[in-house]
Structure 1
Amino acid sequence: MKDFKAKEFKDNQKKVIVFHGLCKGCGLCIEKCPFKAIKFSTKDLGVHSTPTVEIDLDKCTACGICEVTCPDSALKIEKFKKIINHESC
């Protein structure tokens, strides 16, 4: 049986987690993303051997639209808080 591990796409402002075991490859997240930051993966397959998705972090704003539109809860968005050092201001 194939092990469907989550894949993280992360930079210093956000983390997007794609759960390959939940993604059915419907493409709804791709269709709804206003920034065109999501595309079908050429490397990873979902639970039904359908393409799963990957995230372009340069385009992604972590708006969360993909997370709420995914019918299978296959995406999770985490925004990181900015830490401001007031002493250096």
Structure 2
Amino acid sequence: MAAKALNSGTKSTHGRTDQGDPGRRDEPCDSLGTLRNRLSDSHGRGGMPVRPSPRHASLAVNTAGAAATFLVETHLERKPA
């Protein structure tokens, strides 16, 4: 939804976002989603829980904050006066 509103990301001829495009600005956010899904127990995963190291947790939090700040600043910059 944010990518569409900000006109970011590229679409392939099949309508999917190209995974290998070096210009993708949404890749860090996609990676955060993957990380959350793999480490989370929110979907009832059994077995031993996996905990990220403090440096990985810090990277995830800081990346999410930077992405949120970027989205808000971009929206405000494009917002008509």
TM-score (norm 2): 0.25
Which structure ranks higher in relative contact order (CA pairs < 8 Å, sequence separation ≥ 6)? 1
Q: Which has the larger radius of gyration?
A: 2
More strand per residue: 1
TM-score (norm 1): 0.23
